[in-house]
Structure 1
Amino acid sequence: MLILGFESSCDETGVALVDASGHATPRLLGHALHSQIAMHQAYGGVVPELASRDHIRRVLPLTDEVMAQAGLDLSAVDAVAYTRGPGLAGALLVGSGVACALAMALDKPVIGIHHLEGHLLSPFLSTDPPEFPFVALLVSGGHTQLMRVDGVGRYELLGETIDDAAGEAFDKSAKLLGLDYPGGPALSRLAQEGDPQAYRFPRPLMHSGDLDFSFAGLKTAVLTQVKKLAHARPEGPATLHLADPLTLGQKADVAASVQAAIVEVLVRKSLSAIDQTGLRRLVVAGGVGANARLREQLNAACARRGVRVHYPELHLCTDNGAMIALAAGLRVQAGLAAESLRQPAYRFDVRPRWPLAELSAGTV
């Protein structure tokens, strides 16, 4: 079964084709992605209206590129999948509209997929795919969650952020340091030049006894430290002006110390989830999962405990169509998309706010 997947939840337009025939893990046949980073840099963040318009421009050429990679015509597609949510409403509607229109034109079924389920299952496309059950650390954009995963559609929430997510902590700290958008990757690159022990930033909820996260206090601590270093004027966080700009060395030390704090919390909570569940496999997915220090620390800590760690391939850590097509394929194989296959509903149905815990195992 060939499934064409569309991802358009935020600032990446992704299209991919997978082969979900039989019971083997779906195989990626074609994959194309366009990032809007250059367009949004001038604004210091994603502008939803511009994101939606760019998805419209990119999605059909990317589809042609994917089908050319696979050496197939659109008529060979058996089902079309798209990101139903969560995400930016306008951006989601572009993917939904294209997917539903194409499926209707081809007289094929359409399957709406949860964005975070796509991330969670994306390591199944790696050279070292996991096996169920496992603990999943989802660190994607505004989401930081620990899940117990017993199978496709069988997810138990173990803990989540109560305010800012890890990705937001990276991005907001980067903005305080005057780094370019996207802040998280820029901060991680700068951190390689700094001392992770230069400043002792707080590790919120690390010893709380539960598996929840909180990074808002860390952002405030970074703001306070930046003001001290720069002798900033007394304006509030929204109007921070540096009277004496930080040196590159100071910025690198702050970046390294921030990264160390975030990574330590993520590693400690992940190990606690492993201990509480008794499982011996950990899956790390989402954009922050590409962070080199996080991978290094998790690999070392899990190796000492005899725990296997699995990641998506680096190019599949950010939002992409492959994870959406894959999730649809795995749901079809697990018998969880029967209704969508039997009675296609070609409606522009998106859910900008959609907790993963609400995802039903029986429907999509």
Structure 2
Amino acid sequence: MKQPIILAIDTSCDETCAAVSSGRKILSNVISSQINIHKEYGGVVPHLAKRAHQEKIEFVVKEALSRAAAQSHKFCARNLSPTHGRCEHAKISCAEPQIDAIAVTVGPGLAPALEVGIAFAKNLSLKYKKSLIAINHMEGHLLSSLANMEGSDPSMPALGLLASGGHTQLVLVKSIGHYQLLGETLDDAAGEALDKLAKMLHLGYPGGPIIEQLAKQGNPDSIPLPIPLQHSPDLNFSFSGLKTAAMYKIKSVGSVLTVKFTHNMTAAFQQAIAKSFTVKLQKAIEQYQPKSILLGGGVFSNLYFRAQIRSTAKQNSLPLHLPYSKKLYTDNAAMIAVAASFRFNKGESFVKDIQGLDRQPNLSF
């Protein structure tokens, strides 16, 4: 089967992303990060995120097409003019790119950020009369491990464990495109909890990578912390109680935080989150008897978390599928392109009313 050439765009949060794929093969994957913009605020500021997307989306899409052209002389990336988030005002002058469809993330995410990518994708679709495919950002994370995968798809049914700054979810993958949400966070997501701990410890933003490094030097058993919902029969997650417990521990040591305490706290907090992942994953394995596990989301760029999930998969004799590159754990458009290629081959999710396509910031499975 001839694989579709997909141009994908994602502006769901604080990275401006574009990618080109041929089926599951990634031809380019371009990401413009906004970390330096938001770190002084300790989190993503929506209106600043939107402005940065407006400034970068032309370059990012053009660069994705240019890099794809290095592998295939089918793409043009000359003189793409930015939409600045206003679809009707776009001025795009480019020889028609030889792509089969355009895919764009419509949610979940920050509404002001989402609208920039959607507007740009709508313009390209209308100008070049290319099919437009609307993609769920979390489906992209779910299928990120399939990027550049050779051979057959993972054995189904599969369990998908997703953890990012805004979401923590367990998903039953009956087949690609057919999902059942088994559990999700009831409050803070795992990535959000890590950022909040980093803020309490004055470590900077984003918190995840900093905590991972400091935790290597700490004793995770030196500070007792609760394992959220470990005895609950459902498959939901909760990290607000863990965050509160850590806050009281930090307050108990006074205003001066020693290096040793910081190392131990980050290690203990990281361990508690990992145990929450593995406890819920094990319960889901016992209940649903999956044939494989899929892992996705920026939180799992953490090697410690991946090691704990790998151990659980091994104990249950289940294959674990991971993204091939660290760039595919965090937000990116390559995963959106992969998800769209499956939709394209099935004739699914083509947008009929392109002008009417809108952001869905609270979109779920």
The two structures share one fold, judged by TM-score above 0.5: yes
1:28 to 21, 26, 29: 26
After superposition, the C-alpha distances for 1:169-214 in whole angstroms (9 at most, x for unaligned) are 2111111111111012211121111111111100011111221111
Partners of 1:192 and 1:323 in 2: CA distance: 30
Partners of 2:292 and 2:53 in 1: CA distance: 36
Residue 302 and residue 152 in structure 1: after superposition, are their counterparts in 2 closer, same or farther (change >3 A)?
Answer: closer
Report whether the alignment pairs 1:224 with 2:224.
no
Report whether the alignment pairs 1:165 with 2:165.
no
Report whether the alignment pairs 1:336 with 2:348.
yes
- DSSP 3-state at the match of 2:226: coil
Partners of 1:287 and 1:126 in 2: CA distance: 19
- 1:279-294 to 2 correspondence within 5 Å? 279-294=290-305
1:110 to 125, 132, 144: 132
Aligned position for 1:235? none
- 1:58-73 to 2 correspondence within 5 Å? 58-71=56-69, 72-73=75-76
Report whether the alignment pairs 1:320 with 2:318.
no
Aligned position for 1:197? 221
Report whether the alignment pairs 1:269 with 2:269.
no
The share of aligned pairs that are identical, in percent, is: 41
Partners of 1:271 and 1:174 in 2: CA distance: 28
For structure 1, which segment, 114-123 or 298-307, has the greater mean C-alpha deviation from structure 2 after superposition? 298-307
- DSSP 3-state at the match of 1:75: coil
Displacement of 1:283: 0.9
Contact 1:110 1:344 in 2 (8 A): no
Report whether the alignment pairs 1:152 with 2:176.
yes
Displacement of 1:334: 2.6
Partners of 1:66 and 1:347 in 2: CA distance: 26
Aligned position for 2:55? 57
Report whether the alignment pairs 1:82 with 2:79.
no
Displacement of 1:64: 1.6
Displacement of 1:301: 2.5
Gaps of 5+ in 2: 70-74, 77-95
Report whether the alignment pairs 1:10 with 2:13.
yes
Partners of 1:193 and 1:127 in 2: CA distance: 35
For structure 1, which segment, 70-79 or 318-327, has the greater mean C-alpha deviation from structure 2 after superposition? 70-79
Query: What letter matches 2:5 in structure 1?
Result: L
1:257 to 244, 247, 268: 268
- 1:33-44 to 2 correspondence within 5 Å? 33-44=31-42
Contact 2:18 2:30 in 1 (8 A): yes
Partners of 1:347 and 1:182 in 2: CA distance: 35
Displacement of 1:218: 0.4
Aligned position for 2:86? none
Partners of 1:6 and 1:59 in 2: CA distance: 9
Query: What letter matches 2:146 in structure 1?
Result: F
Report whether the alignment pairs 1:174 with 2:172.
no
Residue 126 and residue 174 in structure 1: after superposition, are their counterparts in 2 closer, same or farther (change >3 A)?
Answer: farther
For structure 1, which segment, 249-258 or 105-114, has the greater mean C-alpha deviation from structure 2 after superposition? 105-114
Residue 108 and residue 344 in structure 1: after superposition, are their counterparts in 2 closer, same or farther (change >3 A)?
Answer: farther
Query: What letter matches 1:281 in structure 2?
Result: S
Query: What letter matches 1:217 in structure 2?
Result: G
Displacement of 1:253: 0.5
RMSD value over aligned CA atoms? 1.5
Aligned position for 1:238? none
After superposition, the C-alpha distances for 1:1-45 in whole angstroms (9 at most, x for unaligned) are 21100000110011001113xxxxx21111111110011111111
Contact 1:87 1:352 in 2 (8 A): yes
Aligned position for 1:352? 361
Pick the structure with more helix per residue: 1
Contact 2:18 2:333 in 1 (8 A): yes
Displacement of 1:126: 4.8
Report whether the alignment pairs 1:278 with 2:289.
yes
Contact 1:286 1:318 in 2 (8 A): yes
For structure 1, which segment, 322-331 or 90-99, has the greater mean C-alpha deviation from structure 2 after superposition? 322-331
Query: What letter matches 1:47 in structure 2?
Result: V
Q: TM-score, normalised on structure 1?
A: 0.89
Contact 2:156 2:291 in 1 (8 A): no
After superposition, the C-alpha distances for 1:216-251 in whole angstroms (9 at most, x for unaligned) are 11000000000111x2xxxxxxxxxx3xx2011210
Contact 2:156 2:290 in 1 (8 A): no
- DSSP 3-state at the match of 1:76: coil
For structure 1, which segment, 134-143 or 219-228, has the greater mean C-alpha deviation from structure 2 after superposition? 134-143
Partners of 1:251 and 1:51 in 2: CA distance: 31
- DSSP 3-state at the match of 2:218: coil
Q: TM-score, normalised on structure 2?
A: 0.88
Displacement of 1:131: 3.4
Aligned length: 335
Contact 1:170 1:184 in 2 (8 A): yes
Partners of 1:202 and 1:321 in 2: CA distance: 36
Displacement of 1:307: 1.2
Query: What letter matches 1:248 in structure 2?
Result: V
Partners of 1:165 and 1:278 in 2: CA distance: 26
Aligned position for 2:257? 246
Report whether the alignment pairs 1:124 with 2:146.
yes
Contact 1:197 1:257 in 2 (8 A): yes
Query: What letter matches 2:356 in structure 1?
Result: R
Aligned position for 1:100? 122
Partners of 1:123 and 1:131 in 2: CA distance: 13
Partners of 2:138 and 2:262 in 1: CA distance: 32
